[in-house]
Amino acid sequence: MSVAKRIIPCLDVDKGRVVKGTNFIDIIDAGDPVEIAKKYDSEGADEITFLDITASHEGRDTILDVVEKVANEVFIPLTVGGGVSSFDDVRELLSVGADKVTINTAAVSNPNIINDVTEKIGRQCIVIAVDVKKINNEYMVFTHGGRKNSNLRAYDWCIECQKRGAGEILLTSMDKDGTKDGFDLEILNNISSTIDIPVVASGGAGKLEHLYDAIEIGNADAVLAASIFHFGEFTINQAKEYLKGKGILVR
Amino acid sequence: MKKISVIDYGMSNLHSVFKSFQKVTDKKYALSVANSSKDLEGASIIILPGQGAVNSCMDRLKSKFPDLEKHIANKPFLGICLGFQILFNKSFEDGGVNCFSIIDGTVNDFRNDIDSKYKVPHMGWNMVNQQQDHPIWDNISNNSFFYFVHSYYAKANDSSRELSTTDYGINFTSSVIKDNIFACQFHPEKSSANGLQLLSNFISYSESIE
């Protein structure tokens, strides 16, 4: 027996509020991270990811407040990312109750941050967010919220992250993100079958069978999705029942 | 008010453990962080969460809490993760570290003993197979999922100490019981409703053995 495949809802947070909304009819404040996190926990979410999209520097500290408030009331693993640029940022987020921190741009510009966190705190808490886009038939890693081509090949970069001690890879296909027509199974399977650390699939979930494909064909250890859960198309329970029916081990 | 002391040896993140107990005890206990043996005096319940590597954990525990064994000999005690592993005779992490020998058995490296198709650390939700009827399992179904994060696994030699086992390429001990001592490899403070139920059951069990 192995660990259950995880279903992870992802919430965008701007200045302490969940944006892009959710349409849960039974929560009073659709922008309140605590209420939304509680709702997802009760539906069977295996983990919750918060992506801080706060642009202004002054607003950055609000994510700490969000994590602390959620961690006081929701007792499942919490992952936080967005704008994490230093070892101290990681430590601060963990100290207020995050279990894992995702790093993207900072890891590409200073890969030693991966070794640093792994050696001082442990590999389980560091997730490398890898945003990929297919350019001339090659998957390349993008940073700065998808605006900048790092000129690193996704395959090489994921191997390097693993060598440096990363605990997990969050692999987002920029080509598929927002399309709702399924995950990029090619790069997903390519990375998952190459590296030994867990791979979380992200970008493109629109139907429940996409989740199944990411796990079964893409070999993902977990699937992350936003809109299909936020807008009530499916509950996490429905996703789990569907996967269970297809023989996938879920909690 | 009765006191619950959560041991802080300087390496583990106490936030979730602290908050989860705050939630399940509903202000009936005073929760405090213990930084030295003195802070354990007067505690009704002692909690040892653990993270990090075993050698520095043992070193720090011995220097900050030299009489820890005396305290946990007669008070309800909960060990979590590394706080569970250090109860065994020896851990093979960090080249081999002698531990408290409260539970007969050893702590071994998954990588030596399981097929390489299993990823290490063992991280995620896995099933906890109850080996004995015990009030710790009240209202928790057998084979419920709990959250694990660890690279070394424990195996108790005496199966009567095993409260549960879990499979991950190998069958290992996922929780133990010995009179006033309960300890688990998984993280109840991260295991949603079942985890909170278990913590609440532990409090009730503690009260029943006082």
Q: State whether A3 and B168 contact (CB < 8 Å).
A: yes
Q: Does A76 touch chain B (CB under 8 A)?
A: yes
Q: Do B16 and A71 touch (CB under 8 A)?
A: yes
Judged by average pLDDT, the poorest of A27-31, A203-207, B95-99, B177-181 is A27-31
- For residue B109, what are the β-bridge partners? B152
- Residues with Cβ within 8 Å of A35's Cβ and at least 6 positions away in sequence, in order, are A27, A28, A29
Q: Which chain A residues touch B167 with a CB distance below 8 Å?
A: 1
Confidence band for B67, pLDDT divided at 50, 70 and 90: very high
> What's the helix, strand, coil split of chain A in %, to 5?
35, 25, 40
Q: What is the pLDDT of residues B68-93, one digit of tens each?
A: 999 988 899 999 999 999 999 999 99
Find the closest chain B residue to A251 by CA distance: B145
Name the pLDDT band for A122 (thresholds 50, 70, 90).
Answer: confident
Active site residue B184: no
CA distance between the termini of chain B: 15
Domain count, chain A: 1
A136 Cα to chain B: minimum distance (Å) = 33
Q: Give me the CATH code for the B2-208 domain, please.
A: 3.40.50.880
Instruction: Quote the pLDDT of residue B14.
Output: 86
Confidence of residue A55 (pLDDT cuts 50, 70, 90): confident
Chain A interface disruption, residue of B57, B125, B191, most A CBs within 10 A: B125
Chain segment B144-164, per-residue pLDDT in tens: 999 999 999 999 999 999 999
Q: How confident is the model at residue A24 (pLDDT cuts 50, 70, 90)?
A: low
Query: Which is the catalytic residue, given B57, B71, B81, B122?
Result: B81
Give B-chain residues touching A71 at CB under 8 angstroms. 15-16, 19
Contacts of B123 in chain A (CB under 8 A): 3, 124, 167-168, 198
What is the structure's pLDDT at B121? 87
Q: How many CB pairs under 8 A join A and B?
A: 79
Interface contact flag, B168 A76, Cβ < 8 Å: no
Query: By three-state DSSP, how is residue A238 classified?
Result: helix
- Please report the residues numbered 109 through 168 in chain A whose beta carbons come closer than 8 angstroms to any beta carbon of chain B: 121-124, 167-168
Query: Does residue A4 sit at the B interface (CB-CB below 8 Å)?
Result: yes
Q: Between vectors from CA A77 to CA A73 and to CA A78, what angle results, nearest 5°?
A: 75
Q: Which among A73, A122, A221 is the nearest to B51, CB-wise?
A: A122
Would the CB atoms of B168 and A6 count as touching at under 8 Å?
A: no
pLDDT for A26 equals 60
Does the pLDDT at position A3 exceed 80? yes
CB contact under 8 A, B123 and A4: no
Q: What are phi and psi of B8, to 5 degrees?
A: -115, 110
d(CA A173, CA A139): 9
CATH of the domain at A89: 3.20.20.70
Q: What pLDDT, on a 0 to 100 scale, did the predictor assign at position A226?
A: 87
- At residue B101, the 3 state secondary structure works out as coil
pLDDT at A27: 61
Please name the residue of chain A whose CA is at the shortest distance from the CA of residue B118: A2
Mean per-residue pLDDT over chain B, rounded = 94
User: What share of chain B has pLDDT > 70, as a percent?
Assistant: 99
State which residues form the domain around A109: 6-245
What's the pLDDT at B52?
79
Give the pLDDT confidence score for residue B177 in this predicted structure.
Answer: 98
Give me the residue spans of the domains in chain B: 2-208
Q: How far is CA B191 from CA A33, A42, A77, A123, A195, in A?
A: 19, 12, 8, 20, 27
The pLDDT assigned to A123 comes to 86
**Quick one: how far is CA B180 from the chain centroid?**
13
Per-residue pLDDT at A22 = 55
| A39 within domain boundaries | yes
pLDDT in tens, B112-140: 999 988 988 899 999 999 999 999 999 99
CA B108/CA B116 separation, integer angstroms? 16
Q: Summarize the confidence of residues B169-197 as an average pLDDT.
A: 97
- Cα nearest neighbour of A8 on chain B: B124
pLDDT confidence bin for A152, thresholds 50/70/90? very high
pLDDT of residue B51 exceeding 90: no
**In this complex, do A75 and B20 lie within 8 Å of one another by their Cβ atoms?**
yes
pLDDT of residue A121: 85
Lowest-pLDDT range, A19-28, A72-81, B111-120? A19-28
Q: Do A71 and B15 touch (CB under 8 A)?
A: yes
Q: Is residue A251, in this structure, part of any structural domain at all?
A: no
**Range from A81-95, B4-18, B109-123 carrying the lowest mean pLDDT:** B4-18
Say what the pLDDT of residue B133 is: 97
A160 contacts A141 by C-beta, under 8 angstroms: no
Average pLDDT over chain A, rounded to an integer: 92
Q: Is residue A241 part of a domain?
A: yes
With a pLDDT cut of 90, the percent of chain A lying above it is: 79
Quick: pLDDT tens for A192-242: 999 999 999 999 999 999 999 999 999 999 999 988 888 888 999 999 999
DSSP code of residue B39? G
